[in-house]
Chain A
Amino acid sequence: MVSARVIRNLKTEFRNSALAKIGLVLVVGILVTAAFAPFIAPHDPTEQQLDQSELPPLGFSETTERTTSQMVDGEIQTVTETVEVTPDAAHPLGTDSLGRDMLSRIVYGARTSLVVGVLGTLLAGLVGVPVGLFAGYHRGNVDDVLMRIADVSLAFPSLVLAVALIGLWGRAAVNVPDPFVVAGLAPGMPESFVLPITVVLVVGLVNWVWFARVARGEALSLRGQEYVKASRALGADDTAIIWNHVLPNAITPIIVLGTVQVAAIILLESSLSFLGFSGTTLSWGFDIAQGRDYISSGQWWIASLPGLAIMFSVIGINLLGDWLRDSLDPGIEGEGGAA
Chain B
Amino acid sequence: MSFGRFVLKRSLQGLGVVWGVVTVVFALRFVTPGSAINAVAPLDADQETRQAIAAELGLDQPLYVQYGQYVSDLLRGDMGFSYIRGQEVAGLVFARLPATVELALAASVVAIVLSIPLGVLSATRRNEPVDYGATLLSLGGISTPNFWLGIMLILVFAVEFDVFNTSGRGVDVGDVALSLIGAEPFVGTLLAWLAYITLPAIALGTYFMALITRLTRSGMLDELSKGYVQAAQAKGLPQTLVRYKHALRNTLIPVITVLGLQLGTLIGGAVITEAVFSWPGLGTLVIESINTRDWPVLQGSLIVIGTSFVFVNVLVDAVYAYLDPQVVND
Contact = CB atoms under 8 A, between A and B. Distances in A.
Interface stretch (B51-59, B75-83, B187-195, B304-312): B304-312
B20 A334 contact: no
Contact of B139 (A151, A155, A319): A319
Contacts of B230: none
Interface in A190-228: none
Contacts of B99: none
A156 B145 contact: no
A304 B160 CA distance: 14
Contact of B272 (A151, A152, A271, A291): A271
Interface string B281-318: 00000110011010000100010011101100000000
Nearest to B254: A333
B290 A157 contact: no
Given A160-B268, A307-B151, A168 B261 contact: no
Interface in B157-176: 159
Contacts of B151: 288, 291-292, 295, 303, 307
B31 interface: yes
B286 A152 contact: no
A148 interface: yes
Contact of B20 (A152, A159, A163, A263): A152
Contacts of B267: 157, 160
Contacts of A51: none
Interface size class of A (residues with CB under 8 A): 35 or more
B145 A164 contact: no
Interface SS, A side: helix
A271 B147 contact: yes
Residue of B143, B214, B262, B287 with most chain A CB atoms under a 10 A cut-off: B143
A154 B264 contact: yes
A302 B274 CA distance: 21
B103 to A, nearest CB: 14
Given A158-B268, A311-B143, A275 B298 contact: no
A156 B287 contact: no
Contact of B305 (A156, A271, A307, A315): A156
B142 A318 contact: yes
Interface string B17-37: 100110010001001110000
Interface SS, B side: helix
B140 A288 contact: no
Contacts of B310: 155
A307 B152 contact: yes
Given A155-B309, A338-B262, A164 B290 contact: yes
A310 B287 contact: no
B151 to A, nearest CB: 5
B275 interface: yes
A335 B149 CA distance: 23
A13 to B, nearest CB: 16
B152 A163 contact: no
A168 B155 contact: no
A338 B143 contact: no
Contacts of A315: 139-140, 143
A282 interface: no
Contacts of B261: 154, 335
A167 B272 CA distance: 15
Contacts of A167: 290-291, 293, 298
Interface residues of B, number: 55
A307 B145 contact: yes
A314 B144 CA distance: 8
Nearest to A314: B143
Contact of A159 (B135, B143, B155, B271): B271
Nearest to B160: A300
B28 A164 contact: yes
A285 B268 contact: no
B237 interface: no
Contacts of A296: 159
Given A164-B286, A295-B151, A295-B154, A156 B302 contact: yes
Contacts of A148: 16-17, 20
B87 interface: no
Contact of B258 (A165, A295, A304, A335): A335
Given A157-B305, A164-B298, A334-B218, A271 B145 contact: yes
B207 interface: yes
A311 B290 contact: no
Contacts of A108: none
Contacts of B72: none
A49 B291 CA distance: 31
B265 interface: yes
B228 interface: no
B32 A168 contact: yes
Nearest to A289: B147
Contacts of A328: none
Contact of A263 (B143, B211, B293, B306): B143
A59 to B, nearest CB: 18
B178 to A, nearest CB: 32
**A-B complex: 8 closest residue pairs judged by Cβ atoms:** A157-B268, A167-B290, A307-B148, A159-B268, A152-B20, A314-B143, A157-B264, A155-B306
Given A151-B13, A155-B309, A274-B275, 18 more contacts: A151-B17, A151-B20, A155-B21, A156-B21, A156-B24, A159-B269, A160-B305, A164-B290, A168-B31, A271-B145, A275-B272, A277-B290, A285-B145, A310-B148, A314-B144, A315-B140, A315-B143, A339-B269
20 contacts: A152-B306, A154-B261, A154-B264, A155-B21, A155-B305, A156-B264, A157-B265, A160-B268, A163-B286, A303-B148, A303-B152, A304-B155, A307-B148, A307-B151, A310-B148, A311-B143, A314-B142, A335-B261, A338-B262, A338-B265
Interface of B: 13, 16-17, 20-21, 24, 28, 31-33, 135, 139-140, 142-145, 147-149, 151-152, 154-155, 159, 207, 211, 214-215, 218, 258, 261-262, 264-269, 271-272, 275-276, 286-287, 290-291, 293, 298, 302, 305-307, 309-310
